[in-house]
Amino acid sequence: MHLTTKGKYAVTAALDLAMHENNDFISIADLSLRQSIPGPYLEQLFRNLRKAGILTSHRGPGGGYKLSRPSNEIKIGQIISAVEDRMDATQCSGEGNCSAGSKCLAHNLWTDLNNQVQSFLMDRSLEDVLRDSNNKSLTLNNNKKLLIAAG
């Protein structure tokens, strides 16, 4: 199970696109600047997201990328599967044969872990994460203000 910067960058960039859902197209240059992601690297990741039908692109001046569906219909898990290729936690790729041809003692454990993580990632849309991020950040700011007022 490898969740690398590929997956993290891809999700962050997608969240940025979700935030600006009303805008037309957003260029890699803008995204790269706003989210501190190396441009040419993001380029590479966006190939996969486009191939997976998550992003739509447009060339030329004013061109760029946007989500191909509303942000509440795109799940974090879909983004990650599009760019990560080693998310499976089993040693046997699900074949159940990693201990001299048969199931190792931990096979069911890794399978359960896979399901757990997949559920987590597939249960959350871009919209969900954005809303959640705002809520917690607001709470944090309120607490800080209270503390400052009290101190």
Residues 75-104 that bind DNA (CB under 7 A): 84-86
* 116 is a site residue for a second copy (CB under 8 A): yes
Q: Give the whole-angstrom CA distance, residue 5 versus residue 115.
A: 22
Nearest CA-CA partner of 59 in 74, 46, 45: 46
- Looking at the Cβ atoms of 15 and 64, the one nearer to ligand FES is 15
Q: Is the dihedral of CA 136, 138, 144, 150 positive or negative?
A: negative
Task: Identify the residue whose tokens are 């490898």.
Answer: 2
* 31 is a site residue for a second copy (CB under 8 A): no
* 76 is a site residue for a second copy (CB under 8 A): yes
57 binds, among DNA, a second copy, ligand FES, none (CB under 5 to 8 A by kind): DNA
Residues 8-37 that bind DNA (CB under 7 A): 9, 25-29
Q: Give the whole-angstrom CA distance, residue 143 versus residue 103.
A: 51
* 122 is a site residue for a second copy (CB under 8 A): no
* 68 is a site residue for ligand FES (CB under 6 A): no
Q: Give the whole-angstrom CA distance, residue 80 versus residue 3.
A: 8
Task: Identify the residue whose tokens are 């096979």.
Answer: 107
Chain residues in the site for DNA (CB under 7 A): 2, 4-6, 9, 25-29, 38-41, 43-44, 46-47, 50, 57-65, 84-86
